[in-house]
Amino acid sequence: MLRRSIEPPDAAAIAAARELSGAQAKPPGSLGVLEDLGAWIAGCQGECPPRPLDDVRVVVFAGDHGVAASGVSAYPAAITPAMVHGIAAGVAGVSALAAANGVRVEIVDIAVAEDLAGLDPAIGRFKVCRGSGSIEVEDALTGERLDAALAAGERIATDAAADGAQLLIAGDLGIGNTTVAAALIASTFGLSAAAVTGRGTGVDDATLAHKVAVIQRALVRAGHRASDPRQRLQALGSADMAAGVGFMLGAAAAGVPVLLDGLIAVAEASVAASMHPGVRPWLWAGHRSSEPGQSLALARLGLEPLVDLRMRLGEGTGAVVAVPIVRAAVAALRDIARLSDLA
């Protein structure tokens, strides 16, 4: 659990950004959400106008999930290590989109079941376990593993902030992770398994119904323990998602904003905000996923996504494609003249 305090974004910088935007050579409010977004970045940086976002990073947390053996995905668990290799080689979906949008990619093995031979040992420096428990029959994590995963995510965010990161994205990788994320969202907000469950990797109707049943069994098994966010994460989460939670808590404590991706990232944000409400002002939704649980959780967090492209890939890709919008908001504050200077 995070031991550092989380301070809110700087109110004076936010107010200065709103004043500046209102005085620029344009009708007040004419840039819509860009004006709110620019003020948010100004507040997070504590200065107006904010500095250009030259260092944006997506950290992809990889892990296997025992629930994948229950047949909730269209793909086998062997895909997880293959995709880790793909990201490490720079040829995965997030790799292509990040390169196109000036975003740095890091892949971290938190809980991949297999050995990842031939890769940079740094990828596995925070490894907690070889897969997480199957949540419909057992807890995902022991208390010790939960603490290790949370600490790993916090450390990664803290180190990134110290290294100059200005905007962070939590990416995800692991077969079965949409089942885990849906269970966390249902438990956090008191929603039904059917309401939060989507097709994930593209499952058919029969597999979707089975996935709903698996999540329902997990919720029943967790019972009243799910009212506590830490116990909820231990019972229904996974090591890689716990690392994502720690990452968001660590980023907020370090004063670095987080742009949220899809279902998995929003599930992590939901738990992080339950653990420490101070994290919420440091979050902005990058995109709306086609997974229903993500939209339900965003509404309850009071977050409106920047784009809706019907994406559901994960890996941080939806947030990555929204990064140019955030940069545009910063550029508008920095580069549009005051109307009084033109008169």
pLDDT reported for residue 343: 74
Q: Is the pLDDT of residue 26 over 60?
A: yes
**pLDDT for 14 beyond 90:** yes
Q: Which fold has domain 56-325?
A: Rossmann fold (3.40.50)
In words, the CATH class of domain 11-51+330-341 is: mainly alpha
Which part of the chain has CATH 3.40.50.10210? 56-325
Q: What is the pLDDT of residue 4?
A: 77
233-279 pLDDT tens trace: 999 999 999 999 999 999 999 999 999 999 999 999 999 999 999 99
pTM of the prediction? 0.96
> How confident is the model at residue 278, as a pLDDT?
97
**If 0-12 CB within 10 Å is exposed, 13-18 middle and 19+ buried, where does residue 46 land?**
middle
pLDDT of residue 288: 97
- pLDDT interval class at 3 (50, 70, 90): low
pLDDT category of residue 163 using cuts at 50, 70 and 90? very high
Give catalytic status of residue 315 as yes or no.
yes
Q: Is 339 exposed, middle or buried (0-12, 13-18, 19+ CB in 10 A)?
A: middle
Q: Is the pLDDT of residue 1 over 80?
A: no
pLDDT at 2 over 70: no
Q: What residue ranges of the chain are covered by domains with CATH 1.10.1610.10? A: 11-51+330-341
Kindly state the average pLDDT of the residues 68-88.
92
Sheet with 104-111: strands ordered across? 104-111, 56-63, 167-173, 258-260, 283-285
